[in-house]
Amino acid sequence: MLEQFKKCLIRVNFYLRFLGLSLDSKDKNKSMLQLIRSHRLYVLHFFSLNIEVVAQILWVMEAIIAGKSFVEITRLIPCLILCFISNCKTISILYYAHYNNEFIETMRGLLLNNMDTEEEGNRYKKKLIDTHVLMLTSITKKIIYLIIVGLGMFAFAPFFIIVPNYWKTNELVLEMPFIAYYPFNEMEGWVYPVVYFHQVFTAICAILMVYGPDCFFFTCCTFLHIQFSLLIYDMERMVNEDSNSCDRLKFKMLAVRHIELMRCVNLLEEIFSKPILFNALTSSVIICVTGFNVLVVDNIVMVASFTAFLVFGLMQIFLYCYYGDTIMRSSMQISSAIYNSHWYNVGVAERKSFLIVLIRAQKPCELTANGFFKINLHAFTSILSTSWSYFALLKTMYHPE
């Protein structure tokens, strides 16, 4: 069990280290200058990305003043929002590094002490862990494939525009993957490949700055759900059917495990609640604008690029809501597990202890968007509903010439 958790963390660290971050860093007592020095690579990526963000914001301002087409302006909005989300998520990972470590150490301790002495119990627990870890691996791989396809589409889109245009007109008109305003002519000589490479590189950084923290969140939620499921299994078998007795020491250990799991959920809430809020608020805009671009853009390469972007946006917010819903439901099932045990056959003192844990478990452990609303499948349906409303409004406002 512990080995699988370590493998999942190694995968997360692989993405974060590319950005100059790590789950192993302990930055709680460091000053701002010390943080910058110890994360030079991340600071470099951060400034590199935000130079492009400023250039894109300047282009949007110029486009509005110049009265450029609505479709051109909306093409840039999802990219800008993604950059803001990437900043928010990586800053949160960096700022709450001590909480990351606390969560990982607590989870390691829980996994280490979770093996059953009975063969049947061990088989059940191994099957449960293998199933959920396999699901996590499958999800992360599919997202990576989607990211590669999306980035490839955006990176090579200019070539699919330049080559056919040159074939028709015999004139070389250069294009960039992303529209931006620069205080120089980016299409000139050696400047073009440098700016082109910089745009593609910052796009890779931006998507990894989103995916790295997301991968950590999905990993944490998967193992939290596993732990709640194992606790449910142990709670249901707390009272021995043959002797109608309860091992008080074992029950105390299970109650402590429940407290530790609740603390882990609180740590996860502390780390991710603010990025989740920003992500949830902007998801409706990303989904509706990318869907709008898929519908109105004529270039098939751009349509494919925005389709990949749309699927990524939908998958990302769905997985956040799905895992939030999973944590909520599995934490509430602890009370059902206690009720389903043979609690009525034990003494009065044991029943009181059971009742205390049962009452506490009836209040679900929830992940929220910084306390504004709960992250669950109901929130996902609300986001989709809002996205559809925005999309319908955009369609109504759009009048092609």
Q: What is the pLDDT of residues 67-116, one digit of tens each?
A: 777 777 888 888 888 899 999 999 898 888 888 888 999 888 888 776 55
Whole-number Å distance between alpha carbons of 313 and 320:
11
CA dihedral 3, 261, 23, 277 (to 10 degrees): 130
Which three-class secondary structure string do you get for the chain? CHHHHHHHHHHHHHHHHHCCCCCCCCCCCCCHHHHHHHCHHHHHHHHHHHHHHHHHHHHHHHHHHHCCCHHHHHHHHHHHHHHHHHHHHHHHHHHCHHHHHHHHHHHHHHHHCCCCCCHHHHHHHHHHHHHHHHHHHHHHHHHHHHHHHHHHHHHHHHHHHHHHHHHHHCCCCCCCCCCCCCCCCCCCCCHHHHHHHHHHHHHHHHHHHHHHHHHHHHHHHHHHHHHHHHHHHHHHCCEECCCCEECHHHHHHHHHHHHHHHHHHHHHHHHHHHHHHHHHHHHHHHHHHHHHHHHHCCCHHHHHHHHHHHHHHHHHHHHHHHHHHHHHHHHHHHHHHHHHCCHHHCCHHHHHHHHHHHHHHCCCCCCECCCCCECCHHHHHHHHHHHHHHHHHHHHHCCCC
Q: What is the pLDDT of residues 152-161, one digit of tens each?
A: 888 888 888 8
Whole-number Å distance between alpha carbons of 232 and 58:
55
Phi, psi of 178 (to 5 degrees): -130, 140
Residue pair 73/43 in contact (Cβ under 8 Å)? The answer is: no
Give residue 244's pLDDT: 64
The per-residue pLDDT of the chain, averaged, comes to: 85
Give residue 268's pLDDT: 93
CA dihedral 141, 143, 146, 148 (to 10 degrees): -70
Give residue 108's pLDDT: 87
Q: What is the pTM of this model?
A: 0.90
Q: What is the pLDDT of residues 305-347, one digit of tens each?
A: 888 888 888 898 999 999 999 999 999 988 888 888 877 777 7
Taking phi over 0 as left and psi of -120 to 50 as alpha, with beta for the rest, 189 belongs to: left
Sequence spans of domains, the chain: 2-397
Q: What is the pLDDT of residues 21-39, one digit of tens each?
A: 888 766 556 665 666 677 8
